[in-house]
Amino acid sequence: MEDDAVGILIGGVLFIVVGAVAIVLIWQVFATWRAKVQLAREDAYRKLAERSITTEMETREDLLRISENLADLQKRMMSIERVMREID
């Protein structure tokens, strides 16, 4: 009878230890998965920020070019207006 009680006790302790190890392993697997997802999200955000900066720089260059073209057009228009006044 005593041997049965010892066997049941050892089996119970073993069951608890195996259960605890399984819970810790599952917990760590999910923690690792969450970390990988977080890193992927941060990488995607970093790439988005880099593209945003590149696009902003391209837009700035385009705006400067448009401003230069507009200044040139204004200069030409003033020249044409001056010629038109001289003709009248």
pTM above 0.75, yes or no: no
Angle at alpha carbon of residue 49, lines to 64 and 44, rounded to 5°: 150
Predicted local distance difference test score (pLDDT) of residue 63: 98
How far is CA 30 from its chain centroid?
Answer: 21
For the stretch 15-71, pLDDT in tens is 999 999 999 999 999 999 999 999 999 999 999 999 999 999 999 999 999 999 999
Residue with tokens 């990988």: 36
Band (4; pLDDT cuts 50, 70, 90): confident
Predicted local distance difference test score (pLDDT) of residue 3: 73
Side chain identity at 73, as an amino acid letter? L
Predicted local distance difference test score (pLDDT) of residue 7: 83
Predicted local distance difference test score (pLDDT) of residue 21: 97
Across 42-86, the runs of DSSP E, i.e. the strands, are none
Q: How far is 32 from 26, CA to CA, in rounded Å?
A: 10
Side chain identity at 23, as an amino acid letter? I
- The three-state secondary structure class of 1 is coil
